[in-house]
Amino acid sequence: MNFMQSLRAAWRERDTLLCVGLDPDTARLPPSLAGSPRAIFEFCRDIVDATADLVCAFKPQIAYFTACRAEDQLEALIGHIHARHPGVPVILDAKRGDIGSTANRYAEEAFARYQADAVTVNPYMGRDSVEPYLAWEGKGVILLCRTSNPGGSDFQNLDLADGEKLYARVARLASGAWNANGNCALVVGATFPDELAHVRALVGDMPLLVPGIGAQGGDIAASVSAGQTGDGFGLMLNSSRAILYASEGEGGDFAAAARRAALDTRAAINACRAS
């Protein structure tokens, strides 16, 4: 199956909109992994195995691996997810954005080297910087639209000459002219539910990756209400730190704590969904 097919199957088969972000901060890894040369992989692997039946996707953040020279552990992790949990798509959170020739290499990195099912991309250099990713027809291309960070308002919320917001122009292009292969999705933060609702109205049933719940404080109920599709799906609500580090302060099995946090988050999301 391609990314879109896998995502839709995961939504229905697991009855979940939860995406778990894999952001392994070496300063916060549990003491039980101290001294292991593959601690990053082992930490993420155990959390993946504890939560895979609860999620619609996993989203490893590439910088947490490359900053530690752990690219091999990222490759191993994605390989593990595909081998042990087939059908759970992997989104490489890379937020790449560059001219076409360089974008070709970034697309090859994400899809050929790391074997990711989708990648996050910064579209603000225009169509030619996005096209190399879109050419991989079976892969998802998740474009930054209205991001969850406060500074996103510096540019994304600006009015264009015709009065349209910049983020809205991105949404329209992603759901229209740029989406010839049907492999586009968008990033819209949980911290901006009004904009999330506007994007949903613009793009129809296009999948939306929604960061910002959990540690960033985005409101689950508001996000689900604003962004779900008519059948109660359409969203990948991402939580990272609140699940990864759920065992901090209580000790014990970090993977079991992550599973409890994921169960609670999925239940909170599902309580807000359309029946």
DSSP H helices in the chain: 3-14, 39-51, 62-66, 71-84, 100-108, 127-134, 166-175, 193-203, 220-227, 241-244, 254-270
Cβ atoms of 263 and 242 closer than 8 Å = no
The answer to whether 95 is a known catalytic residue is yes
Q: Which of 211, 269, 204, 191 is nearest to 234 (CA)?
A: 204
Cβ atoms of 235 and 226 closer than 8 Å = no
Catalytic residue among 59, 95, 139, 165: 95
Element (H, E) at 19: strand 18-22
Q: Quick check: helix, strand or coil at residue 13?
A: helix
Cβ atoms of 118 and 91 closer than 8 Å = yes
Q: Quick check: helix, strand or coil at residue 273?
A: coil
Count other C-beta atoms under 10 Å from residue 274's C-beta.
11
DSSP 8-state code for residue 163: S
Residues marked active site are found at 95
